[in-house]
């Protein structure tokens, strides 16, 4: 009998707020997350925001991906409001923060934060965010196209530790789709990749076997670029040992 594929939880967008009486509240997720986990050998399990105890949710999983999406409310981390902040969802903020904090109590559980997910990790560890990057670093490097569209830019990856194992190249073209980023780093997080303008593009939690975040969107490239699939493969490989 072949070994069981590990179950990888992926947080979802929502719950949505219906604009029409005939609409239903919905959770949703771009297919790239599911496709990437499947391609890496895992079984994706979609996690909608709920009041369930986070520890019980995690007990059903071998690994966790905290997905991208809309902005985190600045109220969560004591940040400044900004006119560009969009798609704030308090239910999702609360659920994901509880989930990440509970995951950090299980050192053996592999954790990957993608874009917003990396920001959730940072906030869960006491960090905060820049509310709008162009106000701080300008627009020499575009982290998204106007009004809210993805774009590409390079990142430089450190040459030691877990990130060097996953990404053997120093320079990597990535799909970027954000206007906020880490400002103050959370406890124990170490930057492991930067954009040319100095924005932190990846972090790793030093005292965990596999707890890392990327500010870009590997799931949007993974099926076409094996270099991006490697982060999902590393997550699934680690999940097999939980």
Annotated catalytic sites, by residue? 115, 217, 219
- Residues 222, 229 contacting (CB under 8 angstroms): yes
The three-state (H, E, C) secondary structure of 139-159, written as one string: CCCCCCECCCECEEEEEEECC
First-to-last alpha carbon distance for the chain, in angstroms, is 19
- How far apart CA 215 and CA 156 sit, in angstroms, is 13
Pairing of strands 7-11, 63-66: parallel
- DSSP annotation string for 80-138: PP-TT-----HHHHHHHHHHHHHHTT-TTS-EEEETHHHHHHHHHTT--EES-THHHHT
Q: Which two tokens stand for residue 186?
A: 């959370």
Number of H helices, E strands in the chain: 8, 11
Task: Return the structure tokens found at 134.
Answer: 């162009």
């Amino acid at each position: 009998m072949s070994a069981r594929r590990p179950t990888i939880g992926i947080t979802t967008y929502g719950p949505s707020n219906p604009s029409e009486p005939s609409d239903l509240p919905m959770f949703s997720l771009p297919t790239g997350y599911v496709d990437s986990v499947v391609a890496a050998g895992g079984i994706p399990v979609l996690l909608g925001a709920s009041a369930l105890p986070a520890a019980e949710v995690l007990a059903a999983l071998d690994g966790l991906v905290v997905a991208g999406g809309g902005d985190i409310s600045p109220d969560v981390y004591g940040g400044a409001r900004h006119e560009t902040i969009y798609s704030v969802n308090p239910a999702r903020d609360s659920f994901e923060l509880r989930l990440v904090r509970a995951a950090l109590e299980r050192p053996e559980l592999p954790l990957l934060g993608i874009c917003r997910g990396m920001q959730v990790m940072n906030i869960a560890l006491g960090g905060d965010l820049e509310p709008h990057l162009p106000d701080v670093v300008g627009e020499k490097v575009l982290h998204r196209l106007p009004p809210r569209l993805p774009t590409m830019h390079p990142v430089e990856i450190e040459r030691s530790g877990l990130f060097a194992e996953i990404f053997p190249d120093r320079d990597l073209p990535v799909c970027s789709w954000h206007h906020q980023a880490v400002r103050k780093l959370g406890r124990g997080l170490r930057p492991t990749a930067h954009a040319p303008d100095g924005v932190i593009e990846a972090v790793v939690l030093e005292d965990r076997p596999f707890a890392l975040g990327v500010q870009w969107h590997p799931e949007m490239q993974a099926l076409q670029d094996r270099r991006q699939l490697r982060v999902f493969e590393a997550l699934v490989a680690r999940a097999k040992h939980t």
